[in-house]
Amino acid sequence: MTDLSLLNQVTAFINTEADMLDFQEYNEWLGLWSDTGVYVVPVDPKETDFANTLNYAYDKAEMRRLRVNRLLSGEAVSTQTTDKTVRGLSRFRILEDSDSHVTVRCAMYLSECRHGNLKSYPADVTYKLARTGNDFQIEEKVVRLQNADAYLSSIGYIL
Amino acid sequence: MSNKIDVKNIAADYESMVKPDKVHTSLYSNPEIFEEELDKIFNNTWVWVGHESEVPEVGSYKTAMIGRHSVIVSRDRKRNIHVLLNRCRHRAATVCEGKKGKTKSFMCPYHGWGYSLDGALRAIPKPEEYEGVFDKSELPLISLRFETYQGLIFATFKEDIQPLEEFLGGAKKWIDLFVKQSGGFPLKVLGDHRFRFPGNWKIQLENTTDAYHFPIVHKSFVSSVDEQTADIFDFLDGEGHVEDLGNGHSVMVMIPELVDLEHDLEAPIPERFQDLADELAAEGHSDLEVRRMVRAVGGSGFNLNLFPNVACSMAFFRVLAPVSVNETEIHHVALGGEGAPAAFNQMRLRLHEHFQGPMGFGTPDDAEAWERVQKGSQAGNEEWILLNRGQNHLTTSPDGNVSGAVCSETGMRAAYQQWKKMMIA
């Protein structure tokens, strides 16, 4: 039987993360991560060996910091033309629950508006969350875009 | 105005639209010109369709585009490569929808005609109604002429075309240098990033030989690397050059010290690759092997632009596919070494992800600039795209080619002269 209390806790955590990203609170977002955490957007949604294959993003702590710097620096013209993203997460399901970690899978519907054009990026997102007292830290976040294996357009934000 | 172009009746005056120092803005947006390009350029020359490492085994295949034509590159049971039109001989449905993979045959989903890896028609359901109509041997998948150079596979619809090596000409030397970047192992495709931008394919063709934009468009990338690497990418005032290699091909050397990756192996290990060197040494690789891999891992110091659809661009293949007059698909193909240590290939992958693709620190900014070019080029009726940068400072290269400064538009002028030659022919 689903642990509704735990489901509520992880849902609240993940929704907060989503809100931070939509409102570009990127430095605060960095604080949600464990030092060893990895952020991955694979090219092949079926892939599991991310280190040895090509991804759209494969960010350990340093690359996450650099990505955030790039997005906030004002130096990257592509980040200036996406007005805003709006994402909703739903279909939360706990896949694994141990003393140290909780693994959660959910659906994400993200829309962006760039140069006045609305575009959407649906994805399955899996979070491996490390338990830290009453809270969590992200140990792994894998964003499997529905069209990852086809072609994308510029993504000037964090999925 | 004496140089007015009749853009509505274009059939056309290509001579007046492509000057030595500028091209008419309608080359980006006139659909009639685009249709003619598909016929006169993409149907009429050598077009890159893949690398041999993408079809490594019996049954391996990949799909590619030559203009609007979908083609399959396959390897048959005798290990021979084929380039086949992706179209059933019956009612034209595609027989392969995968990007790449392994198969025993190609099956049409409509009526079940089955083709072997070499394109031969092997199976027809209920064949009795074809008795006396045709023999299976008459209807294989249509096979295209192809040739390879250093593992790069080029195919063509033009039966009487010059040999590939003659077409590549002065570019061969640079392909030979480019393939040295797999660190002493055979070059291998590791994957690709695919993205589209709303703009004409020639905007992308130009970009691979455009060093001028780098410090502007890629400021955020340069800010993300260490000081030593940033210095390497600060090449506009360096000793690089752009050279017209003939047939529309050109090379842009940005980092002369990284032209030959088998030279200077004794050079100090760059700081950013020290951890990789330590890891490879700890795995038992000799000092020479480690130095060869470390020197190669970041790629070559040049972009080789091959007309019309591929570039050997520092550390990857840039492939373009025209979708429509104002839409282009780009593939950035990541490269590594077959059988190379995992640490080497991982570093190659991470460097590719850092700059390339829709979430890289470089490509999205390029795409933004290209989109703005397409949009801006719609303004005005009689405007021109300038290609005259560096035209008064040309020299002759040691190979006897026209050569300009690294941030000159020498490579673009070369490509457009080839474009004009093919469009007029």
| Whether the predicted pLDDT of B7 surpasses 70 | no
B308-365, pLDDT tens digit by residue?
999 999 999 999 999 999 999 999 999 999 999 999 999 999 999 999 999 999 999 9
- C-alpha B19/C-alpha B126 separation (Å) is 60
Q: What is the torsional sign of CA A78, A81, A83, A87?
A: negative
**Average pLDDT, integer, range A115-141:** 95
Q: Is A43 on the interface with B (CB under 8 A)?
A: yes
Amino acid (one-letter) located at B187? L
Interface check A68 vs B, CB under 8 A: no
Residue A87 reports pLDDT greater than 50:
yes
pLDDT tens-digit map of B358-389: 999 999 999 999 999 999 999 987 799 999 99
The overall pTM is greater than 0.90: yes
Q: Is the pLDDT of residue A148 over 90?
A: yes
**A112 and A105 in contact (C-beta within 8 Å)?**
no
Every domain of chain B and the residues it spans: 47-155, 170-424
Q: Which of B97, B218, B222, B224 to mutate: most A Cβ within 10 Å? A: B224
**B47-155: which CATH topology?**
Rieske Iron-sulfur Protein (2.102.10)
Share of chain A above pLDDT 70, in %: 99
Write down the H helix ranges in chain A: 4-22, 26-30, 61-73
The pLDDT of residue B11: 52
Cis omega (within 30 of 0) for bond into B109:
no
pLDDT of residue B12: 67
As to burial, measured by CB atoms within 10 angstroms (0-12 exposed, 13-18 middle, 19+ buried), residue B66 is buried
Q: Do A75 and B223 touch (CB under 8 A)?
A: yes
Element of type H or E holding B282: helix B274-282
- Residue B41 predicted with pLDDT over 50: yes
Measured between beta carbons, which residues in chain A are less than 8 angstroms from residue B353? 54-58
- pLDDT (mean) for B284-297: 97
Over 50: is that where the pLDDT of B10 sits? Answer: yes
Q: What is the pLDDT of residue B4?
A: 59
What's the mean pLDDT when you consider all of chain A?
A: 95
To the nearest whole Å, the CA of A31 is away from the closest chain B CA by 20
Q: What is the pLDDT of residue B53?
A: 98
pLDDT at B207 exceeding the cut of 80: yes
Q: What is the pLDDT of residue A134?
A: 86
pLDDT digits (tens, 9 = 90+) for A17-64: 999 999 999 999 999 999 999 999 999 999 999 999 999 999 999 999
B170-424 in CATH: which number?
3.90.380.10
Give the CA radius of gyration of chain A. Answer: 15
- The answer to whether the Cβ–Cβ distance between A73 and B220 falls below 8 Å is yes
pLDDT per residue as tens digits for the range B89-138: 999 999 999 999 999 999 999 999 999 999 999 999 999 999 999 999 99
Q: Does A150 lie at the interface with B, CB-CB under 8 angstroms? A: yes
Residue of A52, A67, A149 lying closest to B346 (CB–CB): A52
Specify whether the CB–CB gap between B368 and B220 falls below 8 A.
no
Q: Is A149 an 8 Å CB contact of chain B?
A: yes
Find which of B100, B196, B365, B374 to mutate to test the A interface (most A CBs within 10 Å of its CB).
B365
Contact status, residue B191 vs residue B354, Cβ threshold 8 Å: no
Tell me the shortest Cα–Cα distance from B220 to chain A, in angstroms.
5
> pLDDT digits over B60-75, tens only?
999 999 999 999 999 9
Chain B interface with A: residues with Cβ < 8 Å: 99, 190-197, 217, 219-221, 223-224, 329, 334, 342, 345-346, 349-350, 352-354, 357-359, 361, 363-365, 367-369, 371
Average pLDDT for B290-299: 97
HEC string for B320-374: EEEEECCEEEEEEEEEEECCCCHHHHHHHHHHHHHHCCCCCCCHHHHHHHHHHHH
Residues in chain B with CB shorter than 8 Å from the CB of A159 are 359
Query: Cβ separation of B194 and A152 shorter than 8 Å?
Result: yes
- Determine the topology of domain A4-145 in CATH: Nuclear Transport Factor 2; Chain: A, (3.10.450)
Provide the ipTM. 0.96
Share of chain B above pLDDT 70, in %: 97
pLDDT at residue B1, as a whole number: 39
A49 and B CB contact within 8 Å: no
Quick one: pLDDT band at residue B9, thresholds 50, 70, 90? low
Contact of A72 with chain B, judged by CB distance below 8 Å, is answered with no
Confidence category of residue A79, pLDDT binned at 50, 70, 90: confident
pLDDT score recorded for residue B3: 52
Residue B79 in this model has a pLDDT that exceeds 90 = yes
Give B346 to chain A, closest Cα distance, Å: 6
Q: How far is B108 from chain A (nearest CA, A)?
A: 22
Residue B2: predicted pLDDT: 43
**What are the boundaries of each domain within chain A?**
4-145
